[in-house]
Amino acid sequence: MTTKEKVLAYLEANRGKFASGEKIAESIDMSRNAVWKAIKQLEQEGLQIEAKTRKGYCLAAEDDTLTVQGICSYLKETKDWVRVTCFDSIGSTNQYAKELAIKGAVSGTVIVANQQTVGKGRYGKTFESPQGTGIYLSVILKQDRLHFSTPTLITMYTAVVIAETFEQLTGKKLDIKWVNDLFFRGKKVGGILTEAVTDFESGQIEWLVVGFGLNLTATIQDFSEEVAQVATSIFENELMPLHRNELIANILEAFLIGLETVDEAELLSAYRNRLLGLNQEVTITSRTDSYQATVLGIDSMGQLHVRLQDGSESFLNTGEVHLKL
């Protein structure tokens, strides 16, 4: 790590506590002058570092800057093998992660951004990602980490992990709209995009990029007029009870550790318990059609079970569900 990274790691580990330049220098085996220069750099990058005579330096408790050191300070079981890269702004975390995967990035490589300028969702839709107001993240997974009977289940697994972890940390319940949207109080607050690359000869998945975005503190003014009609933020009118670094770390650990022991029957049950539109009439749209149907549930493959208007039943693995909220 660079001197700046070592200083930030120390400040993150001691957030809210003052430490003299001398103490920090001794802890990271650097000179006091090097520590001072690093702190000035961090301040220029927007971190809220308090400085008091005879007390030293302290990373402000309210600072919510996304950093690699901040995320890693909350990791426990995965700290030694997760590789996090953090951007202030990026086109798309998924696109960048796919480029890294093609170049041979290891499983557990994580791309996090404070903003996406061309964030995307399913079917090429735009996912608006305002600066400093949410979580925008992608994870690279190689084939040996995947133990699902169908690729659809990885998206459903991700949705459940995010919703359950978020509720454990904040007490706020997130619902799921099939197959990849997260809702809060009737409006969309997040989405998941899973993309794969397969081997041409074998047809086997070589790696997946699982990306998700979650709106936390954006206001209606941060979104376009079109998006503001259907989306919201979870903490639009209140303070978040934790930092984004902590939230990201907890979701990452739950996601990566859970991959090793996931039970598909339990996963599907947890997903059904959060499923929006169950036993309700919805509109289903595909690339070529739009029709009404009643949602009956999901099957063991993650397909949406619906009853059509003529009384027949169908199982869908593609399409967009539009709720009548």
> 296-309: per-residue pLDDT in tens?
999 999 999 999 99
Q: Where in the chain is the domain with CATH 2.30.30.100?
A: 281-322
Structure-block tokens of residue 236: 């639009």
CA–CA separation, 251 and 158 (whole Å) = 9
Which fold is adopted by the domain 68-274? BirA Bifunctional Protein; domain 2 (3.30.930)
pLDDT at residue 161 tops 70: yes
Q: Where in the chain is the domain with CATH 1.10.10.10?
A: 3-59
Average pLDDT, integer, range 176-192: 95
CATH 3.40.50.970 assigned to domain 3-59? The reply is: no
Backbone angles phi, psi at 22, to 5 degrees: -65, -45
pLDDT at residue 221 tops 80: yes
Percent of the chain with pLDDT over 90: 76
Q: Binding-site residues, please?
A: 92-94, 116, 142, 188
Tell which residue, 248, 261, 175, has the closest CA to residue 211.
248
Q: Binding-site residues for biotin, please?
A: 92-94, 116, 188
More confident residue, 66 or 126: 66
pLDDT classification of 33: cutoffs 50, 70, 90: very high
Architecture of the domain made up of 281-322: Roll (2.30)
CA–CA separation, 1 and 44 (whole Å) = 19
Q: What is the pTM of this model?
A: 0.92
Tell me how far the alpha carbon of residue 180 is from its chain's centroid.
Answer: 12
Tell which residue, 132, 130, 133, has the closest CA to residue 119.
130
Q: Binding-site residues for ATP, please?
A: 142
Q: Where in the chain is the domain with CATH 3.30.930.10?
A: 68-274
